[in-house]
Amino acid sequence: MFGEQGIQYLKANLTKVLRSQGVLLGLVLIIIVASIVEPTFMTVSNILNILRQASAIGIICLGVTFVMMTGGMDLSVGAIVSLCSMVAVVMMNTYGSLPGSTGIVLLAILTVLAIGFAIGVINGLIITAFNGRLGETFIITYGMQIVVASLALLYTGGQFVPGIFAMGLYQQLSMGFVPIICFLSLAAIMHVVLAYTGFGKQISFIGANMDCARMSGIKVSRLRVITYGICGACAGFASIIVTSRVYSASPLQGTGYELEAIAAVVVGGTSQSGGTGGIVNTILGVLVLSVLGNALNVIGVDANAQLLFRGAIIIIAVGLDMWNKMAKQRESTK
């Protein structure tokens, strides 16, 4: 009798672990397979490289997570990265060689954060003015993407801007562990905000049930606007790390970043209908996609065929998540 129960307990726990830690297991699996097929994958320099690459897109994902927690979507982040890259590099080119360049770097970061925040707030204001749901947030931020992307092109008439400023603090931002530390510390702050403060809990509540949140006295519109602002500011900050890395700015820098970011957040397990998920999930999602991309590169799959894997991963991850939820529901009704 006892033995049977014990086996059942183990079984139940095993499926529980498999279900709740599916993404982590996937990540471990990809790493194991990649390092067996191609031993150079597991070198320190390659892993550092993956993490450095992941940190720029990861910072965008942190903001997108906030927006998706409220049951929204932000397609304008890629265009914000493009615009902010242009602004930051042009600013550094103009003033970066003057004395007191540390102050100028900080000023550039602040400007870019402000631009991102402002665009996000405009998104949020339009969306909340009409109480837009997922579909509307999608279309409005898509419109904003077109507008901001064309602003980025107009800024220099579509010209690519090489960096001509003196090497210094700005370059340091993408060297060694700096971008990784930036990403992880920002992630830690946002995790604490989301998981342990009233603000974070209210955001999750909005995503779970917006009408209910409104009835219980939460200032839904104001919180949503702030969330979109945070998302824009994150995209702005990511542009600093990207431009510091490539030492130049292109008006098409951020094209496609928004889809990469959404894919990573969704793979991590933050639900597109809002309310569930979190920063830790997103970090895992970012790692899965960047490790997968790097592993495919190292193994030698060409860029076009990688799209097939990327698309499949998105669908499989969300499908498993949904299947998992349905199974849980069935258990709870039993």
Partner 1 sequence: MSRAKTKDIRPLELFLNQTVLFLLVGFILIMALVKPSFLAWWNIQNVLIDVSIYGVVACGMTILIISGEFDLSASSQYMWAQILYITLLNSTNNPFLSIILTLGSGFLLGTINGLIVTRFRINSFIVTLGTMTMIRGLCLVFTGGKMVDTQNKFIKALGSAEFLGLSSLFYIYLVVLVIISAMLAYTNFGRRLYATGGNIEVAHLAGINTAFQKTAAFSIMGVLCSIGGIMLVAQLRAGSTQYGTDLALTCVAATVIGGTRLSGGAGNAFRTALGMLVIVVLYKALIYLGLQAYYQNLVKGSVLILVVMFDLFMTRRRTTMKQERS
| Smallest separation (angstroms) from partner 1 to the CB of 214 | 15
Q: Using CB under 8 A, which of 273, 299, 327, 328 touches partner 1?
A: 273
Q: Using CB under 8 A, which of 5, 304, 332, 333 touches partner 1?
A: 304
Contacts by residues 105-111 (CB-CB < 8 Å, ≥ 24 positions apart): 105/168, 105/169, 105/170, 108/170, 108/240, 109/237, 109/240, 111/87
For residue 59, give the H/E element and its range.
helix 44-69
User: Residue 112 is encoded by which pair of tokens?
Assistant: 């870019």
| Smallest separation (angstroms) from partner 1 to the CB of 121 | 15
When asked if residue 299 is in the footprint of partner 1 (CB under 8 A), the reply is no
In DSSP terms, which residues pair with 249 in a beta bridge?
A: 161
* CB nearer to partner 1: pick between 71 and 179: 71
Q: Using CB under 8 A, which of 36, 197, 319, 327 touches partner 1?
A: 319
* CB nearer to partner 1: pick between 58 and 71: 71
* Residues 211-240, interacting with partner 1 (CB under 8 A): none
* CB nearer to partner 1: pick between 141 and 243: 141
Contacts of 23 (CB under 8 A, 6+ apart): 267, 268, 269, 281, 284, 285, 288, 317
Task: Name the one range near partner 1 by CB under 8 A: 160-168, 225-233, 234-242, 318-326.
Answer: 318-326
When asked if residue 18 is in the footprint of partner 1 (CB under 8 A), the reply is no
Number of chain residues interacting with partner 1 (CB under 8 A): 48
When asked if residue 199 is in the footprint of partner 1 (CB under 8 A), the reply is no
Q: 98: which DSSP letter?
A: S
d(CA 294, CA 51): 10
AA identity, residue 151: L
**Using an 8 Å Cβ cutoff, are 208 and 101 in contact?**
no
* CB nearer to partner 1: pick between 129 and 166: 129
> Interhelix angle for 44-69 vs 198-208, to 10°?
70
State the virtual CA torsion across 263, 264, 267, 271 in degrees, nearest 10.
-80
CA-nearest of 218, 246, 242, 274 to 109 is 242
**Using an 8 Å Cβ cutoff, are 140 and 123 in contact?**
yes
Q: Using CB under 8 A, which of 136, 171, 180, 245 touches partner 1?
A: 136
d(CA 110, CA 8): 56
Beta strand 161-162 with 248-249: parallel, antiparallel or unpaired? antiparallel
* CB nearer to partner 1: pick between 199 and 323: 323
When asked if residue 139 is in the footprint of partner 1 (CB under 8 A), the reply is yes
Q: Using CB under 8 A, which of 73, 77, 223, 249 touches partner 1?
A: 73
| Smallest separation (angstroms) from partner 1 to the CB of 275 | 13
Site string for partner 1, 241-260 (x = CB under 8 A): ------------------x-
For tokens 């949140």, what's the residue? 213
Interaction site with partner 1 (CB under 8 A): 73, 126, 129-136, 138-140, 142-147, 149-151, 153-154, 157-158, 259, 262-263, 266, 272-273, 302, 304-308, 310-312, 314-315, 318-319, 322-323, 326
